[in-house]
Amino acid sequence: MDRRNFLKQTTLVSIGGLLIPSTLFSACRKETLLEDLKYDGKVLIIGAGVAGLYAAYILKSKGIDFQILEAGTNYGGRVGKLENFANFPIDTGAQWLHGKNNVLGDLIKKSGTTITLDDSDEKFWFNNELIDTLPKDLIKVFENEKDIPDVSFKDYAIQQGFGDEYNNIVENIAGDSGADASSISAYWKVQEEENWISGSEDFKFQETYFDFIDKQIASQVKDKISLSTIVSKIDYSKDVIVVTDNNNNTYTAGKVIVAVPISILKSNDIQFTPALSSEKTTAFSKIGMGAGMKVFLKFTDKFYDGNIIGGAICAAYADDSIGKSPTDNVLLAFIMGEQAEYLSSLGSDLAITNALLQELDTMYAGQATASFVSSSVHDWSKNPFVRGAYSYSTVGMGDARTVAAQSIDKKIYFAGEAMNLNGHHQTVFGAVETGYREVSNILKDIQE
């Protein structure tokens, strides 16, 4: 499942043994910032997703006091692990490493973590049959960077002469990019990924993405995480910032890194004092975050192909055993946007499973139901502290990510995949980069 087709090249610098895109330092006076500066105050991190965990990891390496406040009952954000469903561990959230030329790729190499190239075969469900190649190359159209208008993926495909028979193929492309085809901008998708440097190949972990993050990053800082702590207010009106949770407990610090999903900021779940500017809240509103769901289907027989693209219920199925050592047969239904909203509306895991089995039965002549064993449904839209999959670029988005990521009064800093400005949004390593960036910004600001 190659999610990145719009690739550019730029340079890398190495800081502390980790590869960091040079663009991360565009706001810094020098690349040795982290080595040169200290901070004697305390930093509060809101959110124990990957961005927050990595910010904490860097703060600890600098000997800076910090605390992480996490609303959920576990850390990791949108990486998660399912055990005891199959004879191999399953990623309930982020799953693929999209290229190795990034911070986490370097850490994988240093730690000796096993990853496997996912180059599994593809089949397209097109005009009610499974085929190897589409009559017209739709992917190539979306790789063309010239003169793409600021319209949705769906409208752009229509403009390029693709008929209704390609609708679900377009949904697959859009789903990989975070939304349904009617919502995501073809223009901004390309523009924002001009600095993409990670590489075009997709890799899977022998264990899980969560295991890797847990062992290499979270293990160093999880003793400083306060779970089930839902932040409701951030008062930065004075030198000392006061953060309040929904039980009226207060926490104080000199700096705060807000590393929650963009959906939480868009919903105004956290009240800021002084109130955020309209420019800031408008920027939040322009960054999309749609519904997302992963359903794992276990079968007695492996009747399916490595990747099945173009279903009307699910536009992307994938063999979940790639990179593992399995005896169980598990097929992932990766569902985004309107398709995820539809399945979620069915109201039960059984109804969702049956809808997917019915579609697979149509594709594979009844083999899905005949060999079905069990399913596990993970609807990220219903997670109260996530409410969706990952950020996407909306029509008319403009510089929303840049505005959204700007710090406030050298006190409040914003991290998370939606705040990545280097084309690596929607990725775990993109979230990591923002955690690093905001610690860098804190140290830069105390120098001034």
Average pLDDT per block of 10 residues along the chain, 448 residues long: 39 38 38 65 97 97 96 97 94 96 95 93 96 90 78 94 95 92 92 87 95 98 98 98 98 98 97 98 97 97 96 97 86 97 97 98 98 98 96 96 98 98 95 97 89
Domain count along the chain: 1
Side chain identity at residue 317, one-letter code: Y
Q: Is residue 54 part of a domain?
A: yes
Instruction: State the pTM of this model.
Output: 0.92
Q: Is residue 188 part of a domain?
A: no
Range of the domain at 60: 28-73+209-288+398-447
The secondary structure of residue 118, as a DSSP letter, is -
pLDDT of 27 reads 35
Residue 78 vs residues 50, 170, 321, 427: alpha-carbon distances, Å: 8, 25, 20, 10
379 within a domain of the structure (yes/no): no
The CATH number linked to 236 is 3.50.50.60
Helix (H) or strand (E) run with residue 299 in it: strand 292-299
Give the per-residue pLDDT at 125: 98
Measured distance CA(188)–CA(395) in Å, rounded: 7
Residue 21: is the preceding peptide bond cis (ω within 30°)? no
Q: Is residue 269 part of a domain?
A: yes
DSSP summary character for residue 76: -
Residue 253 is assigned to a structural domain of this protein: yes
- In this structure, is residue 123 part of a structural domain? no
Is residue 118 a part of any domain in this protein?
no
Q: How far is CA 222 from CA 48, 50, 53, 332, in A?
A: 9, 12, 8, 30
Burial class from Cβ neighbours inside 10 Å (0-12, 13-18, 19+) for residue 399 reads: exposed
C-alpha to C-alpha distance for 374 and 372, rounded to whole angstroms: 6
Give the DSSP per-residue string, 173-232: HHHHTTS-TTTBBHHHHHHHTTT--S-S-EEEESS-HHHHHHHHTGGGTGGGEE-S--EE
Report whether 423 contacts 195 (CB < 8 A).
yes
For residue 275, being part of any structural domain is answered with yes
